[in-house]
Amino acid sequence: MADLLNLKEWVAVLGQLLMFALAAPMLVAWVKRVKCVLQNRKGPSLLQPYRDLSKLLKKEVRVAHTASPLFRATPYLVFSAVLVAASTVPLLQVHLPTTALADVIVLVGFLALARFFLALAGMDVGTAFGGMGASREMLISALAEPAMLMAIFTLTMSAHSTNLSSVIQHVLDTGLLLRPSLLFALLALLLVAIAETGRIPVDNPATHLELTMVHEAMILEYSGRHLALMEWAAQIKLLLYGVLISNVFFPWGIAETATAPALAIGALAILAKLVTLGMVLAVSETLVAKMRLFRVPAFLNLAFLLGLLGMLSYVILETSL
């Protein structure tokens, strides 16, 4: 357990936050790039999201005159909530003071907080699209959250802890085990991640088609640095889920001690995992068509079912009586 008052540890946390913030646009660019290659197109540069963000940050902010202060505050709230959530997910090393403070339920809570304000802001201005997007987002998250918790409970049951560091340490200690429960939890979490980060087939981040958009509808009224923060938060959220999935289910390579060589290996490992995960995401998005909104509950029901089966198969197959 890391010492909570150790300054060096907190520096590591800050470093992780910075890495999350800086690497997030890169993952989005990478997915886009792979997709372009798959579709025989010439993709944008990997640095394009950075250019977009810096351009938006420099632009003037325009706010609707019906907007309340909540509307202005939301981008900062959302961004910081997502960032704090990101600080509780081990990136390069297993043990961090933040993971000791906040377990996986807090992580879910921060993400829910961000979503709550996002939905409020969507409705705040009073345009039709904002309200529509908010209601759709709430529908999706209301179904995704139980599924996510189910998957997480499966994980925490086998590790006997809700603390992410302990979970990762447990998986590392037991070595490679073909656990049906973890397989189901992984599949459930993948589906939830797709729904929560607004990727195909649940939502399409690349379109502003009014019939289908969810996330884009909520942030339609934002501009300038507000929009930049919102976009950035969404990118961090994608990275967060990527790191969560790859580090919990495939933790090999992550630094167990805070030494430089270990950290370097950890950095390379997470890079490799994210590159692979990004490719998987791009391939699946290329193969799968976006589904109609009323099919989304079935999709998330499947995620819930997977989580439930994970839990049941843990109890039935893996516990010793």
Partner 1 sequence: MNLAQLGLVEQSIFVFAALALLLSFLLLFQGRLTAMVHVFAWQGFLLALLTATVASVEHSHHLFLSAALTLMLKGLMIPWMLHRLIRKLHLERHQERLQHQALVMMAGAGLVIFSYWVVLPIARLELANTRNIVALSLAIVQLGMLLMVARRQVVAQVIGFMSMENGLFLAAVAATYGMPLVVELGIAFDVLVAAILFGVFFFHIRDSIESLDVDQLTQLSEEER
Cβ proximity to partner 1, 11 vs 142, nearer residue: 142
Of the candidate residues 108, 138, 139, 183, the single one contacting partner 1 (CB under 8 A): 183
179 lies in the site for partner 1, by CB under 8 A: yes
**Whether 132 contacts 293, CB under 8 Å:** no
289 lies in the site for partner 1, by CB under 8 A: no
Which one of 54-62, 82-90, 109-117, 312-320 is the stretch in contact with partner 1 (CB under 8 A)? 312-320
All residues at 6 or more sequence positions from 8 whose CB lies less than 8 Å from its CB, including other chains: 258
Reference 212, options 96, 103, 122, 291; nearest CA is: 291
Reference 218, options 133, 111, 124; nearest CA is: 133
> What is the number of H-type helices and E-type strands within the chain?
12, 0
211 lies in the site for partner 1, by CB under 8 A: no
Cβ proximity to partner 1, 129 vs 304, nearer residue: 304
Cβ proximity to partner 1, 77 vs 182, nearer residue: 182
Cβ proximity to partner 1, 140 vs 309, nearer residue: 309
CB of 171 to partner 1, least distance (A): 12
**Whether 80 contacts 137, CB under 8 Å:** no
Of the candidate residues 5, 7, 176, 289, the single one contacting partner 1 (CB under 8 A): 176
Element (H, E) at 271: helix 260-287
320 lies in the site for partner 1, by CB under 8 A: yes
What phi-psi label fits residue 175: left (phi over 0), alpha (psi between -120 and 50 degrees) or beta? left
287 lies in the site for partner 1, by CB under 8 A: no
- Identify the three-state secondary structure at position 258: coil
CA 81 to chain centre: 12
CA 183 to chain centre: 19
312 lies in the site for partner 1, by CB under 8 A: yes
Which one of 161-169, 173-181, 266-274, 285-293 is the stretch in contact with partner 1 (CB under 8 A)? 173-181
CA-CA-CA-CA torsion sign (198, 202, 207, 209): negative
- Which tokens belong to 156? 């925490």
**Whether 278 contacts 242, CB under 8 Å:** yes
Of the candidate residues 44, 109, 146, 180, the single one contacting partner 1 (CB under 8 A): 180
Of the candidate residues 7, 40, 175, 294, the single one contacting partner 1 (CB under 8 A): 175
Of the candidate residues 30, 110, 184, 249, the single one contacting partner 1 (CB under 8 A): 184
**Residue in the structure block whose two tokens are 């829910």:** 112
- Which tokens belong to 31? 């997915």
316 lies in the site for partner 1, by CB under 8 A: yes
317 lies in the site for partner 1, by CB under 8 A: yes
Q: Which 8-state DSSP code applies to residue 291? A: P
CB of 306 to partner 1, least distance (A): 7
CB of 181 to partner 1, least distance (A): 8
CB of 111 to partner 1, least distance (A): 24
- Which tokens belong to 42? 């010439």
Of the candidate residues 18, 275, 288, 315, the single one contacting partner 1 (CB under 8 A): 315
Please give the residue ranges that form the binding site for partner 1 (CB under 8 A). 174-181, 183-184, 298, 301-302, 304-306, 308-309, 312-313, 315-318, 320-321
